Chain A
Amino acid sequence: MRPIKVLVTKIGLDGHDRGSRVVAAHLRDAGMEVVYTPPWQQIDAVVKLAMEEDVDVIGLSCLATDHLLVPKLMHALRDGGLAHVKVVVGGIVPDEDEVTLLDAGVSRVFHPGTSLDDITETITDLATLALANDEHP
């Protein structure tokens, strides 16, 4: 079976990417193929990238208030025909906003203190379905 492919990226204005780099390295060490981008990505660029790289999962790191952009991204992904791509969000997300994100189609929100192994395990579970479908074009 092929490795899981993950996009680790940041949308919005916050530029603190230490966290997403640590996660990216950990996923790589767990045997995944990780496409990593610098912060400040545009939503249309994220959709294009996810499509061209045919990733299974998108991991977004959201500090500050960037998570408020996530529903917009979910919408753009669906418009781009990428409804099958799973999205997880890590960072500081207030409880009431978490509900909004999950409603918008986000699979999981990781709060501060989540272990790297927990993140890896969740992403593995989410991607397993996609990999099982590989034999179907």
Chain B
Amino acid sequence: MRATTLNVNGDDLDVAAPAHWTLLEVLRYRLGLTGSKQGCDKGDCGACTVLMDGKPVLACLVLAARAGGARIQTIEGLRPAHHAAGGNGADPVQDAFDRCGALQCGFCQPGMMLSARALLNDNPSAGLPEIQEALSGNLCRCTGYTQILQAVQTALAETTGGEAPVPCWANQKDDD
């Protein structure tokens, strides 16, 4: 057992866990923050992505004992942070994913949305290639990524006042 203090979603939390436990295990099975998902436990899928000091990391590859001192943000932290900043409802990334249909089974999405959130914070003018690059560590098996990319473009557009993409099927009726 090893005692660590983790800063998660703004709170300092004391946890005791086996020394070899990863940040993902501690988040899920000690702190009950089960929004971070485990799809492979070895760094292949990205479902466990969380933000450490604003950067996306794979929580299944970070030892919990090494995460003390960093600001960790999980999917559960996005909405409260949005509220604290004066917003209401879900974080704009979460909301855009919901509106664009990006959430099918949803299992990849906490990690996906945190990767997207980090991109939005760092580079609000990102174009499609940068978005694809930023999400390339997060596997999704349901969507074919199309609606995910649309969601991120939509969230970016809404932040910067740009144009949100219109999917081809939504245009279809007007053409015909």
Binding between chains A and B: no
